[in-house]
Chain A
Amino acid sequence: MKKILIVISALISFVNTGFSQIDDKEDNPAWHLYIDSATVTAQRIMKDIGVQQTKLDTVALRESISTSMADVLTQNTVIFIKSYGRATLSTASFRGTAPSHTQVTWNGMKLNSPMLGMVDFSLIPSYFIDDASLYHGASSVSITGGGLGGAIAMNTKPGVDEGLAIQYIQGISSFDTYDSFLRFNYKNSNFQSSTRIVHTDSDNDFKYVNYDKKEYVKDENGSIAGFKYPVERNKNGDYRDFHALQEFYFTANSGSLFGFSTWYVKSKRGIPVLNLDYRSENSSRSQQDEQTLRTVLSWDKSLTNMKFTAKAGYTYTDLSYSYSGDDGTGTLIKMIQSQSYVNTAFAKFDIEYYSGKKWMFSANITAHQNSVNSKDGAIINADNRSVIIGYIKSRFELSSFVSAKYRPVERLGFAINFREELYGSKNTPVIPAAFVNYDISKSGNIKAKASVAKNYRYPSLNDLYFMPGGNDSLDNETGYTYDGGIEFTLLNNKTNLKGEITAFNSNIKNWIVWLPNFKGFWTPSNVKKVNSYGIEIKLKNDIDFGKNRKLSSDGNFAWTRSINWDNPVNWADESAGKQLVYIPEFSVAITAKLAWETWMLTYKWIYYSERFTTSNNEKNTKISRLGAYFMNDISIEKNMRFSWAKISVKLLVNNIFNEEYQSVLSRPMAGRNFGLFIEIKPDFRKNKII
C-alpha cells in the first residue's frame, strides 16, 4: 500500500509541478485552454487512427549519448526492461508479456533473432536511432505480426541541414569506461552521406558489498569468531562494443528517394559471474562475442495521393558463447563453445493510397529468408571424438498486410487491418485488428481511442529445432487483446500539457515455455495461458519561461497484472492466479529537465515494485524475491559557442543516493557512478552544424 501511495504521490507531484507554475503567473489567473490548431490537426493523421503509440523523439534518444536503447526504453516508456546489468542482456516486457512477444524492426527489417525470437536492447546504441515508436498491443499489427505485447519500430532518417557537419563526443566514466562517438554528415540538394561510429570500452568492475557472502574470522580453536561482508568487484563484466553506421540518401529528379543504410556491430562482452560464485577470478570465464552486419536499401516515392516504399535488406550474425574453465593446471580451456551463424535476406513492398479526405488504404508484403547454423562444440567423449550438437535450418517467412481507414466526419475515424503470416510450410490464421478514434471535444484536444486484435506468434527456430529439446510440433501462440484510452492536450502560449491513459486486456493462449523434461534437458511446449491487463499513463508537461528557459517533465506509469491461468501441473501447483515471474506490478519513470539559457539540468527517477522469481509468488522467502527499488540519476550540461565550434560539457551522476540493489537475482548493480562527456561540433561557418 505504501508503494502505491508513493507512486500516486509522485505522479500528483509531477503534474503539480506544471500546474503550480501556471498558478503562480499573474498573467494566467486561471487555467484555460488554448488550442493550437496546427498541432491538433497534425495529430489527426489517418494512418494513426486508434493507434496506441509512444513516439520517442530525438531529445529522448540523445539525452544521454552513451545509453543503449535498453536505457532509453526504461526511462521513457512503460516497457519493463529486464537487465542483468551494464552492457549485459536486456530484454523487454511489453504489457507483461515475454521478450519474444515484443517485435522490433530497424528500418522495416525485423531485429528479433530468428533463433531466439527476442532482441537484446543493450546492443542497440541510441545514437544510431533517429526515430523510434512503440506500438502497444493491437496497434503492433500494423508493423508486424507476433507482437502479442507490442512492437517497436526504429528508424534512421536523413538529416535536414545542408553542408558538412562533424560531431565528436568523448566520454569518460566510472569503472574505466570510455565512450567515443563520431559523426560525419554531408548533405547537398539531392545527396546525403552520414557516417556514425560508436566505440565503448569498459572494465565494468564496479565494487559492491556482497551481502550474500561472509568472510569469517576464526579464533585459535578454529571456531568462527566473527565475520564481515566482503567488498567485491563485478567479475568478468568487461565489454568492448564497436558500431559503425553508414547511410546514403539520394533524391532523384523524379522525386524518388533512395536510401542505403548499413550497420556493423562487433561486440565482445564478458558475462558477469553471480555474486554467489566462490571460484577464483581467473578460474573461469564466460564470454559472448557477436558480429552483425545489417544492410537495408530503400526506395520511396510519393505522388499526390499515393506513396510507394520498397526495401531490401540482409543481416548476417556470428554469435558465440564460450565458457572456459581451469582444467586443473591453471590454464583456461573451453568447456562450452556455442556458435551460431544467422543469415537473413529481407524484402518489403509498401503502398499507401488516399481516396479523398475520408479514406485511406494501405497494403504491404514483407519477406524474410532465415538461415541458421547453430552448433555447440562441447567436447564430447565418444572414442575421443569431438562431436557437434546443433541444427542447420532455413525458414522462409512471409507477412502480408492490408488496411482500410475511414474518417466519415472530422471527429471520428475507423480502421481495420488484416495480416497473415506464413512461416516454412505453415501459416498463421488471419490476424484481424480494428481501431476507432473519436474526438470528444470539438477542438480535438480530448480524444478517445480503442483497438482490438487477435494476434499469433509462431515459434522461433530454437523453439522448433534446438538440440537437445527443440519441439517441432509446437503451435502458434495466440493472443486476443483490446485496449481503450483517452488522450488530452492542454496548451496555452507558454505551457503544454499532454496526457494519455489507457486500459488494456490481453489473453494469451499456447504461451511457449521451456521446462525440463523427463530426460533431464529443457524442452518447449505450449503450456501457458496468461491474462495480462493493466493501465498505462503518460504525461508530458512543458513550461516555456522564454529567453531559452524551459522546464520539461515527462512521466510514464504502468500498472501491469500478468496472471498465469494455466491449468495446474498437478494438485501441488500454486501458480494459477499469480503474477508472472520478474514482471513488476507497478513501474514509474519520470524525467524532469530544466533548460536555463546555456545550462541544462536533467533529473531521472524510476521505480519498480517488487518482483517475484517463483511462479507461486512465494512471499515467505529470503532468497527468491526482489524488493522494490528507486533509482535517481542527475546530469548537468553546459553549452558553449565559440567562433570555431560549439562545445558542450556534461557531467552525470547515476544512482546518486548510492543505493545497493539488484534488478535480477544474485546480480548486484553499480552504486553511485559518474560520467563526463565533452562534445565538439566544429563550425564551418557557411556549413551548418548537425
Chain B
Amino acid sequence: MKKKLTHISILTILLIVESCMDYGPKSESDFNYYDSNGLFIVNEGNFMYGNASLSYYDINKKRVENEIFVRANGIKLGDVAQSITVRNGIGYVVVNNSGVIFTIDVNTFKIIDIITGFISPRHIHFVNDNKAYVTDLYGSKIYILNPVTKKISGSIDVSTHNSTEQIAQSGKYVFTNCWSYDNKIFVIDSENDIIIDSITVGIQPNSMVIDKNGKLWVLTDGGYQGNPYGHEIPSLFCINASDFKIEKKIDFELNDSPSKLIINSSLDTLYFINKSIWKISIDAAKLPDVPIIPYKGTTYYGLAVSPENSEIYVADAVDYVQNGKIYRYTAQYVCIDTINAGVCPSNFCFKLK
C-alpha cells in the first residue's frame, strides 16, 4: 500500500511539472478559395477580450469557415474587428482596438501586410488605387493611406470633432459622419485632402450611403434618454451630394434605434436595422409600415445585400457572448440558410469572381 502511494506521489509530481498550457504557437492551415464566390463576415468579438475573428462563407457551396485569420496565419486577429473592404484581390481588415489594419489575400486568407500607426481605426475607403482614407474613433484625424506602399502618407485634421466613422464618395467629394455625440457630416475635397464643408444632420449619424442619383443618405439614431448631447427622433436624411443641402428627412419614432444603413447594387433601395429588418425605396416619402424580416427575439447586429441577386444576409449576435448566426434570405425574404459565425458578427464584404 505504501509503495502504491509512493508511486502516486511520484506520478503527481511529474504531472505537476508537466505543462498543460494552451498559450503557445498555433498551427497554420492552407485555404484555397480562388474559385469561389464568398462573403467575409467580420466578428467584432468582445471589447478587451481579443476574440475578434473573420469567417468566410462560400455562397455557392453554402459552407462556412470560421476563425480563418488565426487558422491561416497562426495569430489572432485582435480586439474588436470593425470592418473589411476588398480591393484588387486584397482584403483590408480594420481592427479597431488593436490599432491595426491587416491586408490579406482574399483567396488564401494569408497576411500580406500589417499596417500600423492608427489610434482606433474604423473604416477604410479607397478614393482611388493610390489613395485610401481611414477613419478613427479617437484619432482626431482621417488618415491618408497609400495602398501601394501600405504606409500612412498624411492626414486630414478633424480635431474639432472626435470621431469619424463611415465614408461615402460622390465624384471628388468624400463624406464622413461624426457619430459619437455629434451631428455633423464632413465634406472632404479628395483631390486636395481638405475639409471644405460640413452638414448638420440629426443626433449621432451612424451610417450612410450614396444612391444612383448622387444623393447621400444618412441615418441618425437620435441619441438616448438622458443624453447630455440630446435625445430626439431618429431620422433618415437625404442630402444632395453636390450642393450639400438636405432635401428630405424621414422620421422614425422617438425610441427607435435605426442603424446599419446599406444600399442594393442598383443603388435604388435602402435597407437598415430597426429591431427588425426594413427596406425603403429611395423615392419613398415615408417609412414602410411593416418590416421585411421581423424581429423574433433576435439581436440583429449586421446587414448585407448581395450585389449579385439581392439576397439578404442578417447577423444575429444572440447574447453577445457566444458565436452568432447569419441568416441568409432570398430577395423575397425566404430564409435559405443559417450560418454559424463568430462572436458579435457585425460587418460583411462580398468577394465575387
A joins B in a complex: yes
List A residues at the B interface (Cβ < 8 Å). 3, 6, 9-10, 12-13, 16-17, 19-20, 23, 211-214, 216, 224, 229, 274-280, 283-284, 323, 325-328, 335, 378-382, 384, 387-389, 467-468, 515-521, 569-575, 581, 605, 610, 613-616, 618, 621-630, 632, 657, 659-662, 665-666, 668
Most buried by B among A13, A20, A224, A276: A276
Contact partner, B22, options A9, A10, A517, A627, Cβ 8 Å = A627
B: number of interface residues (CB 8 Å): 92
Q: A16-B9, A278-B114, A572-B318 are in contact. Are A622 and B70 (CB under 8 A)?
A: yes
CA distance A91 to B320 in the complex (A): 22
Binds A, one of B33-41, B125-133, B134-142, B277-285: B134-142
CA distance A326 to B259 in the complex (A): 29
Contact partner, B24, options A214, A572, A660, Cβ 8 Å = A660
The secondary structure that dominates the B interface is: loop
Residues of A within 8 A of B321 (CB): 575, 581, 613-615
Cβ of B351 under 8 Å from chain A: no
Contact partner, A622, options B2, B71, B139, B230, Cβ 8 Å = B71
Q: Give the shortest distance, in Å, between B69 (CB) and chain A (any CB).
A: 9
Closest residue of chain A to B273 (Cβ to Cβ) is: A518
Residues of B within 8 A of A618 (CB): 322-323
Residues of A within 8 A of B226 (CB): 467-468
Cβ of B26 under 8 Å from chain A: yes
A-B residue pairs in contact (CB < 8 Å), sample of 8: A276-B76, A277-B79, A278-B98, A283-B99, A328-B141, A515-B319, A626-B22, A632-B17
The reply to whether A572 and B325 form a contact with Cβ atoms under 8 Å apart is yes
The reply to whether B298 and A468 form a contact with Cβ atoms under 8 Å apart is no
Closest residue of chain B to A468 (Cβ to Cβ) is: B224
Cβ of B213 under 8 Å from chain A: no
Cβ of B264 under 8 Å from chain A: no
Binary interface profile of B, 228-245, with partner A (CB < 8 Å = 1, else 0)? 111000000000000000
Which B residues from 1 to 58 make CB contacts under 8 A with A? 2, 5-6, 8-9, 11-13, 15-26, 45-46, 48-51, 53
CA distance A387 to B319 in the complex (A): 32
Most buried by B among A212, A283, A661, A668: A212
Q: Give the shortest distance, in Å, between B344 (CB) and chain A (any CB).
A: 9
List B residues at the A interface (Cβ < 8 Å). 2, 5-6, 8-9, 11-13, 15-26, 45-46, 48-51, 53, 67, 70-71, 73-79, 95, 97-100, 110-112, 114, 116-120, 138-141, 155, 157, 159-162, 178, 181-182, 184, 206, 221, 224, 226-230, 257, 259, 275, 296-299, 316-325, 338, 343
A-B contact sample (14 more), CB < 8 A, given A20-B2, A389-B227, A660-B24: A3-B20, A10-B12, A16-B5, A19-B5, A211-B25, A214-B111, A326-B119, A381-B178, A518-B257, A575-B319, A623-B51, A629-B21, A659-B21, A666-B48
The reply to whether B297 and A569 form a contact with Cβ atoms under 8 Å apart is yes
Closest residue of chain B to A11 (Cβ to Cβ) is: B12
Residues of A within 8 A of B97 (CB): 274, 277
CA distance A301 to B227 in the complex (A): 53
CA distance A9 to B140 in the complex (A): 58
CA distance A660 to B24 in the complex (A): 7
The reply to whether A605 and B16 form a contact with Cβ atoms under 8 Å apart is yes
CA distance A617 to B171 in the complex (A): 49
Q: Give the shortest distance, in Å, between B221 (CB) and chain A (any CB).
A: 7
Residues of A within 8 A of B159 (CB): 327-328
The reply to whether B75 and A389 form a contact with Cβ atoms under 8 Å apart is no
Residues of B within 8 A of A610 (CB): 22
The reply to whether B257 and A662 form a contact with Cβ atoms under 8 Å apart is no
The reply to whether B318 and A328 form a contact with Cβ atoms under 8 Å apart is no
Contact partner, B228, options A12, A212, A389, A630, Cβ 8 Å = A389
Residues of B within 8 A of A16 (CB): 5, 8-9
Closest residue of chain A to B323 (Cβ to Cβ) is: A618
Residues of A within 8 A of B141 (CB): 327-328
Contact partner, B8, options A12, A388, A467, Cβ 8 Å = A12
Q: Give the shortest distance, in Å, between A13 (CB) and chain B (any CB).
A: 4
Contact partner, A278, options B18, B100, B296, B319, Cβ 8 Å = B100
Residues of A within 8 A of B70 (CB): 622-623
Residues of A within 8 A of B51 (CB): 613-614, 623-624, 665-666
Q: A380-B228, A572-B318, A614-B343 are in contact. Are A13 and B8 (CB under 8 A)?
A: yes
The reply to whether B119 and A325 form a contact with Cβ atoms under 8 Å apart is yes
The reply to whether B78 and A278 form a contact with Cβ atoms under 8 Å apart is yes
The reply to whether A212 and B50 form a contact with Cβ atoms under 8 Å apart is yes
Residues of B within 8 A of A657 (CB): 17, 19
CA distance A389 to B117 in the complex (A): 30
Closest residue of chain B to A213 (Cβ to Cβ) is: B75
Q: Give the shortest distance, in Å, between A336 (CB) and chain B (any CB).
A: 8
CA distance A216 to B73 in the complex (A): 11
CA distance A325 to B136 in the complex (A): 12
Residues of A within 8 A of B206 (CB): 520
The reply to whether A662 and B99 form a contact with Cβ atoms under 8 Å apart is no
Residues of B within 8 A of A666 (CB): 48-51, 76, 79
The reply to whether A569 and B299 form a contact with Cβ atoms under 8 Å apart is yes
The reply to whether A276 and B257 form a contact with Cβ atoms under 8 Å apart is no
Q: A16-B8, A382-B229 are in contact. Are A573 and B21 (CB under 8 A)?
A: no
Residues of B within 8 A of A518 (CB): 257, 275
The reply to whether B20 and A630 form a contact with Cβ atoms under 8 Å apart is yes
Contact partner, B221, options A381, A519, A574, A630, Cβ 8 Å = A519
Residues of A within 8 A of B112 (CB): 224
The reply to whether B73 and A328 form a contact with Cβ atoms under 8 Å apart is no
The reply to whether A276 and B78 form a contact with Cβ atoms under 8 Å apart is yes
Q: Give the shortest distance, in Å, between A235 (CB) and chain B (any CB).
A: 12
Contact partner, A276, options B98, B181, B227, B299, Cβ 8 Å = B98
Residues of A within 8 A of B343 (CB): 614, 624
Q: Give the shortest distance, in Å, between A323 (CB) and chain B (any CB).
A: 8
The reply to whether B98 and A274 form a contact with Cβ atoms under 8 Å apart is yes
Closest residue of chain B to A660 (Cβ to Cβ) is: B23
